Each structure stands twice: as structure tokens, then as C-alpha cells.
Amino acid sequence: MNTDAVRKQAFAMPLTSPAFSRGPYRFYNREYLVLTYRTDMAALRAVVPEPLEVTEPIVKYEFIRMPDSTGFGNYTESGQVIPVSFQGGKGNYTHAMYLDDHAPIAGGREIWGFPKKYAHPHMAVCQDTLVGTLDYGPVRIATGTMGYKYQEMDQAALLESLKQPNFLLKIMPHVDGSPRICELVQHHLSDIRLQGAWSGPGALELHPHALAPVAQLPVLEMLSASHYIADLTLTHGQVVYDYLA
């Protein structure tokens, strides 16, 4: 394989059998359980990188079912997203993500810099309750519950929030172990079609774990719970800050 062929074929690893397909990536019937809570402001500021700014001590804990996604398949995800400000505009910083499928772990980390790790999230309706759980190995580290479809949400307001920019810290090491890439990446969700959205009573419990430290952003007060289903496209991103420049 000559140099030109390598350049043309190289978009993911391994070269001759990539771990994921080429984008764009469309998600159908993507189902969210989002539990928003108040946490410790000092703890938040300790994990959110500049030049992003934390303006209030808020965290969104998410459980997401993705039964039908192009290139990535059928999987479940769970993690923490932090509302932030960047250059005067609102957005969200993805702090932690845990999921059960190698293709989106590899693709998410390599393309955008999603902080994905392998674990065992689960989300399902149990009688009158929407239940989300996250296990890291044999240890339960998160349990979220919400009253199932208590009341409909304002879809227009939710749609506007989903259109906000999302931020990631992409880190790729050099062969000597030093950072080769260290960038703040921005991306958007596009072509969003909401199928339904609901709010209701919610609760969240987080447990300490050495390698999955979701409890380092403790739950001090539950603020809201939302459940929605949407089709959407995950677009490629852009670099908005280079930490090595």
C-alpha cells in the first residue's frame, strides 16, 4: 500500500479494518433520561478546563438509550454534562461518559474527544418509573429514577437547548507519552426531530469509585428530571482552542 493509498484510506484505526464507519452519524429513537442537580461549585471548577467558564453549580446526569445509530449500532450510555459559558455564549461540557459498545467508544474518543469509558449502563421502564443504572464492573455507581411521563414538556424550549454547542477536551498522546493533541472541541447536534418530551419527579444516587468518579460531583439538591425521545445527527466538530499552541 503506497503513501497516497494510506492517506486516502486512513480515517480510523485499524487502517484495514476500522473500528467504526465514516460519518455522518444519524441516531433514531434516541431516548434520554436527564436528571439535573445542584452540586459543589468548587468541585465543578476543579474539573472544567479553561477557557470554559462555570457560572452556576449545575450538573446534568444523563442516561441515553441508542437502539439504532448508523455505524455505531445499539447501545446505552450514561454520564455527566456541565452547563458552561464560552466567549459569552451558553453551551455544555461533557465531563464523563460510560457505555457498553466498542465502536462508539473508539469513534467518540478518536474523532471528537468524548471522554468515553467502557461500563454497563441500563435504562428501562419499570411499571410507573423510568429507571437508569450504571455499573462499573460489579459495582453500582449511579441510580436514577423518574416518574414515567408525568407531564409533557415545552418542546420548543427543549429543542433550543439541544441546539446549544457542546464542548469536549480532546487528548491524543504522542508516541513518547507526551500530548500530541490537546484541544477544546466544539460540536452541535443537527436535524433534530423530537418525538416526545416529558418531565416529572426525579431522584439520583451516586456512589464513589476509584476509576469512575461520578460521585466527585455530589448531588446536593435535585432540580429537575426530563425524559425525551428524538432522531438527530451528530455532526463533526471544530477546534476552538489549542492548549499546545
C-alpha to C-alpha distance for 104 and 221, rounded to whole angstroms: 32
Tell which residue, 16, 22, 56, 20, has the closest CA to residue 39. Answer: 56
C-alpha cell belonging to residue 167: 464542548
Active-site residue among 116, 149, 163, 170? 116
Known active-site residue 116: yes
Type of residue numbered 187: H
Tell which residue, 163, 168, 125, has the closest CA to residue 145. Answer: 125
Tell which residue, 222, 171, 163, has the closest CA to residue 187. Answer: 163
Strand partners, 126: 129
Burial code (b: 16+ CB inside 10 Å, e: under 16) for 43-75 equals ebeeebeeebebeebbbbbbbbbbeebebbeeb
Burial class (CB in 10 A: 0-12, 13-18, 19+), 138: exposed
> Which sequence positions are flagged as catalytic?
116
